[in-house]
Amino acid sequence: MSKLGSLGARLHHGEVGYGFVKNRKIWYGISILITITAIVGLAVRGLHMGIEFQGGAVFTTPKNTNASVSRAEEDAERASGHDAIVQKLGDGSLRIQISGIDTDKSDQIKEKLSRDLKIDAEQINAELVGPSWGDQIANKAWQGLGIFLVLVVIYLAIAFEWRMALAAFVALIHDITITVGIYALVGFEVTPGTVIGLLTILGYSLYDTVVVFDSLKEQTRDITKQTRWTYAEIANRSINSTLVRSINTTVVALLPVAGLLFIGGGVLGAGMLNDISLSLFVGLAAGAYSSIFIATPLVADLKEREPQMKALKKRVLAKRAQAAAKGDSLESADETGEAHGEEPEDTATVVVGPRNQPASRTRGRGRPSGKRR
């Protein structure tokens, strides 16, 4: 068994563990700092909206154009008086995108580009995009996001409880804020692909959270009938038992997205892949982080405010203090651990070697011995 598999088995059986819930104030502080940074970046730099949202024109040159990207960008900005985005496509053609221009001015820009780039104007393809189409996409995206959040909260409240639904909602807002803030800081263009990526990461963000919540729900069944663990400790055990699974699923999902972002967009120059790949990459990483460090610790905080959980915590601490005073181990003092579904951790040392079955007095009676008298 690999080291990661061995670690996963030990985490699942509670042999080792990390204090995620115990150190929740640290994770809360880190998350608040990252969120504030994202909000400040969004407020200061703003989002670089694509042509689909602002309106403008897209000019595509013929294949194997000799002009460089930097030269085409300078010529386009000089001809239009606006910022231009130039991308070199796989067939050698150039895609020149200029936002905020109308139909009449696009014809003039096309003529100037043909002279500067020394290309026949008839060979330059011009496409005009109106801002109303982008507004429709944005409105539909906001509507879809709102409906999704409402349905998720209702489902989690029914399947689990309202505290878990609230924690999952906070984690989703956390992930979306960080993703949008990083988009603003990096300066990537916001396109319909970005909107698709943002809506896609919501499902991935919830996946790990629901897995941990399901384990927590199973382990906290009849929790008040035992005095071995507090709710926060069981929540921490739930995170540890699903930790390796969360890491594996996140890494497997991040690898192809990282290929799109760093290889496709960075090395190969397919800039259009950056729109969706960056939102997916940041959203997947933020979703895995929030499910471990935000959602479950927040549920533990909310649950331990209940009178029953407060009383349980007092009984657990009192029993531990009594056991410590007597010098007994907690495992030997706890007789109700089996009611909670816990097995003694030293069961492997109880039975050593094969068990000797006692000889039966009636063994062999009524059966032929194989000997003739």
CA–CA separation, 145 vs 78, rounded Å? 40
Domain end, chosen from 308, 330, 361, is at 308
Contacts of 206 (CB under 8 A, 6+ apart): 152, 168, 172, 287
Residue 109, domain CATH: 3.30.70.3400
What pLDDT band is residue 10 in, cutting at 50, 70 and 90? low
Domain end, chosen from 129, 163, 193, is at 129
Higher pLDDT, 185 or 83: 185
Flag whether 125 is in a domain. yes
> How distant, in Å, are the alpha carbons of 56, 58, 196, 338 from that of 203?
33, 33, 12, 36
Flag whether 350 is in a domain. no
Task: Mark whether 102 and 239 lie in a shared domain.
Answer: no
Flag whether 318 is in a domain. no
Q: What tens digit of pLDDT does each residue of 289-306 get?
A: 998 899 999 999 999 998
Flag whether 363 is in a domain. no
CB atoms within 10 A of CB 307: 7
Number of independent structural domains in the chain: 2
Of 75, 87, 79, the C-alpha closest to 117 is 75
Q: Which of 87-91, 163-167, 355-359 has the lowest mean pLDDT?
A: 355-359
Helix, strand, coil shares of the chain as percentages rounded to 5?
65, 5, 25
Mean pLDDT of 34-40: 92
Instruction: Go through 254-272 and write b for each residue having 16 or more CB atoms within 10 A of its CB, e for each that does not.
Output: beebbebbeebbeeeebbe
How much is the pLDDT for 26?
Answer: 92
Flag whether 327 is in a domain. no
CA–CA separation, 8 vs 20, rounded Å? 16
Task: Mark whether 193 and 89 lie in a shared domain.
Answer: no
Higher pLDDT, 264 or 211: 211
Task: Mark whether 151 and 76 lie in a shared domain.
Answer: no
Residue found under tokens 């999902």: 253
Task: Mark whether 211 and 249 lie in a shared domain.
Answer: yes
Residue 151: which domain range? 3-49+133-308
Flag whether 81 is in a domain. yes
Task: Mark whether 138 and 15 lie in a shared domain.
Answer: yes
Contact between residue 78 and residue 70 where contact means Cβ atoms under 8 Å apart: no
Task: Mark whether 125 and 185 lie in a shared domain.
Answer: no
Flag whether 339 is in a domain. no
Instruction: Go through 282-293 and write b for each residue having 16 or more CB atoms within 10 A of its CB, e for each that does not.
Output: bbbbbbbbbbbb
Q: What tens digit of pLDDT does each residue of 214-258 get?
A: 888 888 888 888 888 899 999 998 888 888 788 888 888 888 888
What pLDDT band is residue 287 in, cutting at 50, 70 and 90? confident
Task: Mark whether 75 and 137 lie in a shared domain.
Answer: no
Residue 351 half-sphere exposure toward CB, CA atoms < 13 A: 5
Task: Mark whether 237 and 162 lie in a shared domain.
Answer: yes
H or E segment to which residue 126 belongs:
strand 125-129
